[in-house]
Amino acid sequence: MIYIIISNIGLAIMMLYVYFRYSHYRINSGKEIKELREKSDTQTSELRSFDAKLLSSIKGYQDRVEALLIEVGMVRQEKEKEMELRADFEKKYEILNQKNSDHESVHSEITNAILNIVNDTHETAKNLGKDLYEKISDSYKKEVQENQNLISKVNQNVADFVAKFNSAQNQVMKEKEDYRFHELFQPANSEVSKNLIIDALSFVKNKGFIVNKNLFMPENFDEQKSKLMLCEIAFVKNNKLFILDFKGTNYIFEYFASKAKNDKMAEENFNIKFKRYIMLLSNHRYYELINRAINSETSQHDSYKVVIVVPSKNEIKLLKDLQYYEKAQQLNFDIIDIEDLIKITS
Quick one: DSSP state of residue 109?
Answer: H
Per-residue confidence (pLDDT) for residue 124, from 0 to 100:
59
Q: What is the mean pLDDT of each run of 10 residues along the chain (346 residues)?
A: 79 79 70 78 81 78 79 81 79 75 70 66 58 62 67 61 47 43 63 90 91 90 84 92 92 89 91 91 90 73 92 93 92 91 83
| Domains in the chain: boundaries | 65-96, 117-170, 184-345
Report the distance separating Cα 88 and Cα 219, nearest Å: 99
pTM of the full predicted structure? 0.49
CA 76 → CA 61, 68, 73, 338, distances in Å? Answer: 22, 12, 5, 116
Report the distance separating Cα 217 and Cα 106, nearest Å: 100
Per-residue confidence (pLDDT) for residue 9, from 0 to 100:
86
Per-residue confidence (pLDDT) for residue 171, from 0 to 100:
43
Per-residue confidence (pLDDT) for residue 117, from 0 to 100:
61
R_g (Cα) of the chain, nearest Å? 61
pLDDT, one tens digit per residue, over 167-180 is 544 443 444 444 45
